[in-house]
Structure 1
Amino acid sequence: MQHKYLPLIIAAALSAMSVGAHASGYRFGSQSVAGQGTAESNAAEANDATTIFSNPAGMSRLDGLQITAGATVVVPHSTFNDSGSTRFTGSPTGGTAASDYVPSSVTAPSFYASKKLNDQWAVGLGMFVPYGTKIQYGNTWTGRYALSDVKLESVTLNPSASFKLNEHHAFGFGIDAEFMKANLGQAVDVPGSVAALAGTPNAAALAKQIAALGGNPALLRATRDAHGSNDGKDWGWGFNLGYMFTLDKDTRFGVSYRSPIVHKLRGSTVWDFSKVTDDPIVNGVLQAASHKVNSAALVELRTPETLSVNAFHQFDSKWAGMADVTFVRHNRLGDLDIQFPGTSEGAEVIRQQWKNTVRVSLGGNYAYNENLTLRAGVAYDQSPVQNAELTHPALPDSDRMQYSIGANWKLSPRSSIDLAYSFLDFKDANINYTNKCNPLATACTGNGETTRGTYQTHLSLIGIAYNYKF
């Protein structure tokens, strides 16, 4: 019954690695409400301070001091239909159906400020939520041995600068300071472990020890799950680069790159065996036999880098078109080894093996009048998850389509409001994930469960931002 668990900190962190807005994984909301209105195809437009995120070279196009403060509300909807989840013994996990496991809504704020210093230099600062998730399956659902709950929060500070070489060439550079915090929980398969030991010398020894301490060994026939709670946090550092080529007053091309970030997530694990039976002596003996002690946990991970290529063209006084292609290098994320310093516990291996992905988006602007600009866009985004056998309940991801509309409304010559709405439609995500280590193993850690089923997911994004030019 060995099981130390920090894997969902890792899984949740990894689910957030895609750096393009609405990218595969747990990318949280949008980093630009104006960009959201065009399905994130507007990186070469560089029309406000949010260019700090998409391409810092775009600050060379902005005059004076400009700020943008926004928020995106994510409204998710997801259902899971179990198709035969089992314990490591092969018997059904039992439990309840997953329902209401995603929040009704979550909000991600953002803030950007850019300042033109002279004809060549501009500086800026971005603050945004690059990723996050909150899933609460509960302690009784059929996949509880893989995950009961997870919460991931993050924030990135992105100081940046741009240099305009001449009328055609501009360059940008930024530093990424990224904070990640995660909490998670998971059931421990005590009933399955006791059933697997039944009739063995180990089971007899447990019963004898319980009786010697004054406990009731008969309660071994009616054990319940234990539970583990974990947390972890870390700061990581990276950088982003941008280049913008202005062909003429109507046409621009951009290239941007965001580096990987190395994180060392450090956290703690707390185990609760108090509800396994109604006898604290039995519970104590079972916890000692499982070798589960409260301890630290550590995992090192490297986020994937992204490369984006984009274009913008003003067709006439009314119409503008734009496009973006973003490549995300996920394939460095192989299996993950979660270590438990200071204990004799073997590592837990999370089989990840993500693949590289591509996101393609197209969008357009229509100037309805001098005060109102309408936007629309569509995008296709691949998932890094390869197949059902490598899909985990922390990341029930799949390819998706994004459909967006938006608007910019000028309140005055200096201020405006951006509005955006997006609908993301995910393909059904099948899951057939098996933890390769069972609770009775001594050289590794794991529940040995297999989670089987199908996720059906879609979500809406509602964005609003205020822009001001000083």
Structure 2
Amino acid sequence: MKQKILPLFIAAALAALSTSALASGYRFGSQSVSAQGTADANGAEANDASTIFYNPAGMSRLEGTQFMVGATVVVPHSTYTDAGSTRFTRTPAGGTAASDYVPDSVTAPSLYLSHQLNDRWTVGVGMFVPYGTKINYGNTWTGRYALSDIKLESVAFNPSASFKLNEHHSFGFGISAEYMKASLGQAVDIPGSVAALAGTPTSAALVKQIIALGGNPAALAAVHDGHGSNSGKDWGFGFNLGYMFTLDESTRFGLSYRSSVVHSLEGNTIWDFSSVTTDPVVNKVLAASSHRANSAALVDLRTPETLSGNVFHRLNDRWDLMADVTWTRNSRMGDVHIQFPGTTEGDEVIRQQWKNTTRVSIGANYHYNDSLTLRGGLSHDQSPVPNDTLRHAGFPDSDRTQFSLGLNYKLSPKSSIDVAYSYLDFKDAPLNYTNNCSPLSTGCTGNGETTRGTFKTNLQLVGIAYNYKF
């Protein structure tokens, strides 16, 4: 019996390679509360220090020293209906329904600081959450052989500079340092393997070994799942570029590019067979027969680059109109190769094959008076998952539509607050994902399960930020 699971890095690779719990993929799509209020349509507005993320060339519009600190609270709601998940033997996986598997809320901070050096140069730095997810299905749900839990945390530091060539042309660039930390858990299908081997020479050899070590083979009549826990972390580096063309005081256009970031997530895999049966000897024999030992794990992955084009137009003293189109090269995420340094195990290959995606956003500002600006926006964002056979339980993503409202209120000539609310509605996300490797096979890794069901998800976001001009 050769029993294995997909380690952390399946989820880490799934998670790290896209452009949110909010934008498509695992990219955390609200790096600015003011942008959230327009559904991220305001890339060419460049009205506060968060332009460091969206288009660093926009810093050329900021006078003096400007500071923004904010936080976005994500309130998810998701349900899963199983449609016949199975073991590798194509018998029912059993288990319980998935419930309460997303947290009540998650908070992500952001911070930006810009400083005008002279009439041409402005520098700044941003700190934000580029990727994130947290799902805990529990150890008994029907899809446990694919995933029991996943957590991905990240933070990016983005020092930037802009250069104003003249009244029409501005350029920007930045360097990103990105820290990523991930963990994953997954059940090990010991019951299915024991049942599949019943009456075979391999099963007889296991019974003989158990007796020789003083164990009771009768314990095999009540076998439970094993479990694997994994973790990994890494720093990666990239860059971003921006260009802004100012036609006149009312109209400007922006282009921005954010590079991919290469990560080599390094961590450990820990296996737990202590509760497989009530007999420690039987547990030890089953653990040894699985050919799995605690080891290091490694996966090289590359986040996708993004290219954005946007426009801002002041229609009159009251209304600003804006739009953004962002293209994400998710096709960099083909199959994922997971390595186990220091072991004789071959790479684990995860079928992924993401597609490139486009997000389209439109938004508007309404200047109610000198102190209050109201915002609104609508966006549609494609999912990189091409179909239900490539949708994994660690990534129940689908196309989504976002509706946002927001406001900016000036507390004084130097300070203001931003508030935003967004509702994201996801299309139903069916999955029919099969791991093609049976746990009784040699030379490959997996539980061989099929996870089959449908996710229904929506999200609410509430953001608040404080701005100050020195």
TM over 0.5: yes
> Match for 1:129: what amino acid?
V
Using a 3 Å threshold, how does the CA distance of structure 1 residues 370 and 20 change in structure 2: closer, same or farther? farther
Q: Deviations over 1:363-420 (max 9, x none)?
A: 0000011100000000000000000000000000000000000000000000000000
> Match for 2:213: what amino acid?
L
Residue equivalent to 1:192: 192
Q: 2:301 matched to 1:301?
A: yes
1:71-82 to structure 2, matched below 5 A, reads: 71-82=71-82
Q: 2:133 matched to 1:133?
A: yes
Q: Deviations over 1:308-366 (max 9, x none)?
A: 00000001110000000000011121111111111122322111000000000000000
> Match for 1:100: what amino acid?
D
1:373 aligned counterpart, secondary structure: strand
Residue equivalent to 1:51: 51
Residue equivalent to 1:163: 163
Deviation at 1:218, TM superposition (A): 1.5
Using a 3 Å threshold, how does the CA distance of structure 1 residues 387 and 299 change in structure 2: closer, same or farther? same
2:36 aligned counterpart, secondary structure: helix
Q: 2:238 matched to 1:238?
A: yes
Deviation at 1:11, TM superposition (A): 2.7
> Match for 2:435: what amino acid?
N
Deviation at 1:16, TM superposition (A): 3.9
Q: Deviations over 1:157-192 (max 9, x none)?
A: 000000000000000000010000001100000000
> Match for 1:421: what amino acid?
Y
Residue equivalent to 1:91: 91
Is the 8 Å Cα contact of residues 4 and 447 (structure 2) preserved in structure 1? no
2:460 aligned counterpart, secondary structure: strand
Residue equivalent to 1:253: 253
1:361-372 to structure 2, matched below 5 A, reads: 361-372=361-372
Q: 2:425 matched to 1:425?
A: yes
Q: 2:226 matched to 1:226?
A: yes
> Match for 1:46: what amino acid?
A
Is the 8 Å Cα contact of residues 404 and 421 (structure 2) preserved in structure 1? yes
Residue equivalent to 1:344: 344
Is the 8 Å Cα contact of residues 7 and 230 (structure 2) preserved in structure 1? no
Deviation at 1:21, TM superposition (A): 9.4
1: CA distance, partners of 2:20 / 2:454: 26
Using a 3 Å threshold, how does the CA distance of structure 1 residues 381 and 8 change in structure 2: closer, same or farther? farther
Is the 8 Å Cα contact of residues 16 and 26 (structure 1) preserved in structure 2? yes
Deviation at 1:19, TM superposition (A): 3.6
1:15 aligned counterpart, secondary structure: helix
Q: 2:20 matched to 1:17?
A: no
Deviation at 1:204, TM superposition (A): 0.1
1:9 aligned counterpart, secondary structure: helix
Q: Deviations over 1:84-141 (max 9, x none)?
A: 0000001100000000000000000000000000010000000001111110000000
Deviates more, 1:46-55 or 1:7-16: 7-16
Residue equivalent to 2:175: 175
Using a 3 Å threshold, how does the CA distance of structure 1 residues 306 and 32 change in structure 2: closer, same or farther? same
Q: Percent identity?
A: 73
> Match for 1:104: what amino acid?
D
Residue equivalent to 1:120: 120
5+ residue gaps, structure 2, are: none
1:276-315 to structure 2, matched below 5 A, reads: 276-315=276-315
Is the 8 Å Cα contact of residues 244 and 252 (structure 1) preserved in structure 2? yes
Is the 8 Å Cα contact of residues 417 and 464 (structure 1) preserved in structure 2? yes
Using a 3 Å threshold, how does the CA distance of structure 1 residues 85 and 20 change in structure 2: closer, same or farther? closer
> Match for 2:369: what amino acid?
N
Residue equivalent to 1:464: 464
Deviation at 1:6, TM superposition (A): 5.3
Residue equivalent to 2:388: 388
With structure 2 as the length reference, what TM-score do the two structures score?
0.98
2: CA distance, partners of 1:96 / 1:195: 20
2: CA distance, partners of 1:44 / 1:93: 51
1:30 aligned counterpart, secondary structure: coil
With structure 1 as the length reference, what TM-score do the two structures score?
0.98
Q: Deviations over 1:422-459 (max 9, x none)?
A: 00000000000000111111101100000000000000
Aligned residues between the structures: 470
5+ residue gaps, structure 1, are: none
Deviation at 1:194, TM superposition (A): 0.6
